Amino acid sequence: CIGITEVGPERIDSLFERFISEERNEPPDIDVDFEHERREIVMQWVYETYGRDHAALCSTVIRYRSKGAVRDVGKALGLPEDVTKLLSSQVWGHGEAVDEQRARELNLNLGDRRLRLTLELAAQLAGTPRHLSQHPGGFVLTHDRLDDLVPIEPAAMKDRQVVEWDKDDIDALKFMKVDVLALGMLTCMKRSFDLLSEHKGIALDLATIPAEDPRTYAMIRKADTLGVFQIESRAQMSMLPRMKPRTFYDLVIEVAIVRPGPIQGDMVHPYL
């Protein structure tokens, strides 16, 4: 009724408790999705609307993985670049460092103090914070001046500022956070609407797309959904011919059950 969204929960009898529940001990999430090409425009609009004294992006903590730890430690200890690259190519994620047998296969001398120290220090660094980075779209909005409440620094990108705490710290302090998310698929859909209008004279938007078009569902039931948002993954495409969706609510169920939780809980096959 106030134009925030065109989604009408009453059309599918959604429970109000789905949005605000007494059982939930945190504020509702506020996510706002935009075409990725408009992301910077939207961010600057937030700054201009709420003021740079009251709005800033969250940070996110980037932690060392084994590869990065080996590269940084090797560089700091003065290992030759080719040796550092070879070492880092042998470790993955938070995995263990190169063992003695593998080192011999690679013609690496673990008797070299710098080499041995590089592996030892890299193993200690794995999982520890490396640096702060900018959160993809988490905005903190406050009534009082933000710099009276949290530390702020200029972002690497022009005309942005970030809170020097990560999103988990912000959540713990109960600050209001709005996720301004950029989706490439929304850009694709916007271009599709523009092409429809230009070449076919058909004016559509996200709110006016026919929700129960039979030909669309016939295409979906054949799993011909490459490029169709939410149902283009292999898991979704394998499920569509079995679910045989014919209505919008069938798609709601389809998207909801093909998730890690229902799959790991062995809930999908009993439902089918």
**pLDDT tens for each residue of 91-110:** 655 555 566 677 777 777 77
CB 134 within 8 Å of CB 160: yes
- Quick one: 178 exposed, middle or buried, by C-beta within 10 A (0-12, 13-18, 19+)? middle
pLDDT confidence of 210, banded at 50, 70, 90?
Answer: confident
The percent of residues above 90 in pLDDT, for the chain, comes to: 17
Is the pLDDT at 20 greater than 80? The verdict is: no
Return the SS3 of 165: strand
- The answer to whether the Cα torsion of 37, 39, 31, 162 is positive or negative is positive
**For the chain, which residues make up each domain, given as ranges?**
16-56+135-184, 65-127, 210-271
Backbone angles phi, psi at 5, to 5 degrees: -150, 155
Task: State pTM to two decimals.
Answer: 0.67
What does 15-53 look like in DSSP terms, one character per residue? -GGGTS-TT--SPPPEEEEEEGGGHHHHHHHHHHHH-TT
pLDDT band of residue 88 (cuts 50, 70, 90) is confident
16-56+135-184: which CATH architecture? 2-Layer Sandwich (3.30)
